[in-house]
Structure 1
Amino acid sequence: MQQGKTTQFEKNFEASSARVKKRLAAYLRDPEDGKNVHAMRTSLRRLEAAFLLLPKKERKRNKKQADACKAFFRANSRVRDLDIISAKITALGGDPFVDAIAGKRKAALVHALALARSLEKNKMPLAANAIKKKKSIDGDKLAARMDKVAGRLVCAIEERLPVVVGDSSKKEELHGLRKDLKKLRYMLEILPAGRRKKYERAVAKVVVGGSNSNSGSNNVMARLKELQGTLGLVRDCDITIEYLQRVKGAGAVLQKGKDERDALYEKFAKNMMMTIMAS
């Protein structure tokens, strides 16, 4: 372990933890605000991605806090999904089917708020346990951990892409691909700029392809964000379709949702097929 000053990774990690605290306070002040619900989920995702890069001892030391964050994330995600479903159905012209969602959201929010209040009383996961002992996280250990985690994610993305591009019915695989892309992007964001290049080159070969695989950092990060966004829209359609399939009399709205989903998927599939062919 290096002695003395805090590393850039540790500073970035603590900033991520502080962001969760700030957004948690906003969430508790106004949990009815959909923006707070979304911001809370995003900040927790970023913290989770950063947490995975901590050395094993630090992950164990912070496991209780990390588990509490995950439990709250899952509960809050249910609230967020219901907000998305409500907005999508309204956009599809299905206003009469929206009222029933309010009760479901209220129940989901009660559960999420209970976990949020409990989380507020506990400390966020910290990289600073080592710092308090005047030690910093070893750069070599961080690199080795990143090699392992990023390598696993890149492999998962490479394996999922041909499957989802060739079959629009692979909903869970599409969702898994989106989560992998998001996690990888958030991990790269928290790393010091000098440590990103190695991983960005590997990622570029998969999501940018061919002669563009030497794209700069901004292009790689933008590409990850673009794919994550497109797959997010597909996922929004999928959870809305799943809900509408259980609603009596919603056939016309359901079909509109399916048509929108098909168009979004086709856009994604054509885009990725060009990337795969260029690789």
Structure 2
Amino acid sequence: MPPPTPIRGLGPDSELGDAARRILAGRLADARHPEDQLGAELDEDGVHDMRVATRRLRAALQVFQATGKLARVEADVKRLQDALGAVRDLHVQDAWMGTAAKGKKDAVKALAGLRKTHLSSLGEKEKTLRAELERWTERTVPRLLKRLDTLEDRHRFAGKQVRGHLRQRLRRVEKRLERYADAPDATSAHALRKDLKKLRYELEIFQPAFRRTVGALLEVLVPLQDGLGELHDADVRLELFERAAAEAPPVQRKAAHKLLPRIREERAARSAEIAREVQRWHAEAIPKRLRKALT
């Protein structure tokens, strides 16, 4: 995952409005950077990078909502993020199938039909994405740029309000961790992943205000979030192949049945890794330490 552009010159006593203007400008620049990769061809790396960048931009828009009227812009950015996600999800599973078949002629042939079926909706989703990219360039970017100069808030960048918000976000993650520990299924894993992602992006936003504290938080948070992302991809893949094994034409069903043991094994390995990481969080009282750091 590409890191966000560092925002220099901000500190704990900076005004929240000033921080909002500068951070949003930086997140917008990060989101615009991959546009050149999404020209004639929707490059896979470009789609991935822009998806991550728009997520970070949305997180900043939500955090700084009180500094100005940003709800409409955030909704527009979400439209683009969703379109990028729909294409990216197809890319991820197709890449796995390509790797699974690599060096095996029989697997290439068997998976060809599955890959074709899986990618059958790619054209339509790419068409939607191109429309959203055009909307982004013509409407969303100018609208956000217009809003930037109007953002005002005299609260401190690292004030009680901000610390309270981050502690609240952390408490939500703690509850998700407890639910996942009790029932480590795909639903609880996905919910935990989403809340960890929100906490991560918000910590990145306030890193100039907390510096060492946030760096330590991210150091323990990122591995768990990344692992949950890989688990999510494995869950999507498992559902995809289980459906193919039940519903696809005979040749594709055979290929799906052949690969299902490997997919289940990979999913189990990912789940075991997450279980160890969650256990470490509890054993080392990481949530408590993180909360203390934000006091």
Name the TM-score, length of structure 2 as normaliser. 0.76
Q: Say whether the 8 Å CA contact 2:207–2:215 is kept in structure 1.
A: no
TM superposition outliers: structure 1 runs of 4+ over 6 Å = 2-6
Give distance in 1, aligned partners of 2:204 and 2:274.
Answer: 24
| Amino acid of the structure 1 residue aligned with 2:136 | L
1:113-158: CA deviation from partner (whole Å, max 9, x where unpaired): 11111111014364874645xx743234874553454233212110
2:261 to 246, 249, 255: 255
Distance 1:245 1:5, change over 3 A: closer
Which residue number corresponds to residue 176 of structure 2? 160
Distance 1:7 1:244, change over 3 A: same
2:223 to 216, 223, 226: 226
Give distance in 2, aligned partners of 1:158 and 1:128.
Answer: 38
Give distance in 2, aligned partners of 1:147 and 1:4.
Answer: 15
Q: Say whether the 8 Å CA contact 2:16–2:153 is kept in structure 1.
A: no
1:277 to 278, 283, 286: 283
Give distance in 1, aligned partners of 2:168 and 2:203.
Answer: 14
Cα deviation, residue 78, structure 1? 1.0
| Amino acid of the structure 2 residue aligned with 1:273 | Q
Please say which of residues 147-156 and 80-89 is displaced more in the overlay. 147-156
Which residue number corresponds to residue 183 of structure 1? 198
Name the TM-score, length of structure 1 as normaliser. 0.80
Which residue number corresponds to residue 65 of structure 1? 73
Q: Say whether the 8 Å CA contact 2:54–2:81 is kept in structure 1.
A: yes
Distance 1:246 1:108, change over 3 A: same
Q: Say whether the 8 Å CA contact 2:158–2:209 is kept in structure 1.
A: no
1:120 to 106, 122, 137: 137
Does 2:254 match 1:243? no
Give distance in 1, aligned partners of 2:149 and 2:37.
Answer: 29
Which residue number corresponds to residue 19 of structure 1? 30
| Amino acid of the structure 1 residue aligned with 2:241 | L
Give distance in 2, aligned partners of 1:5 and 1:236.
Answer: 37
1:211-265: CA deviation from partner (whole Å, max 9, x where unpaired): xxxxxx4332122221111111101101111111221311121221111011111
| Amino acid of the structure 2 residue aligned with 1:157 | V
**Structure 2: runs of 5+ lacking an equivalent:** 1-12, 102-106, 286-295
1:28-59: CA deviation from partner (whole Å, max 9, x where unpaired): 4154311011011100110111111114251x
Distance 1:154 1:128, change over 3 A: farther
Cα deviation, residue 13, structure 1? 2.0
Distance 1:114 1:145, change over 3 A: farther
Give distance in 1, aligned partners of 2:281 and 2:14.
Answer: 45
Give distance in 1, aligned partners of 2:238 and 2:198.
Answer: 26
Distance 1:147 1:219, change over 3 A: closer
Q: Pairwise CA RMSD of aligned residues?
A: 2.8
Look up the SS of the partner of 1:257 in the other structure. Answer: helix
Give distance in 2, aligned partners of 1:8 and 1:68.
Answer: 22
Look up the SS of the partner of 1:219 in the other structure. Answer: helix
Give distance in 2, aligned partners of 1:89 and 1:66.
Answer: 35
Look up the SS of the partner of 1:92 in the other structure. Answer: helix
Cα deviation, residue 5, structure 1? 11
1:194 to 198, 209, 217: 209
Does 2:53 match 1:56? no
1:76 to 75, 84, 93: 84
Distance 1:122 1:144, change over 3 A: farther
Look up the SS of the partner of 1:269 in the other structure. Answer: helix
| Amino acid of the structure 2 residue aligned with 1:155 | R
Which residue number corresponds to residue 146 of structure 1? 162
**Structure 1: runs of 5+ lacking an equivalent:** 201-216
Q: Say whether the 8 Å CA contact 2:67–2:153 is kept in structure 1.
A: no
Cα deviation, residue 168, structure 1? 2.9
Q: Say whether the 8 Å CA contact 1:54–1:127 is kept in structure 2.
A: no
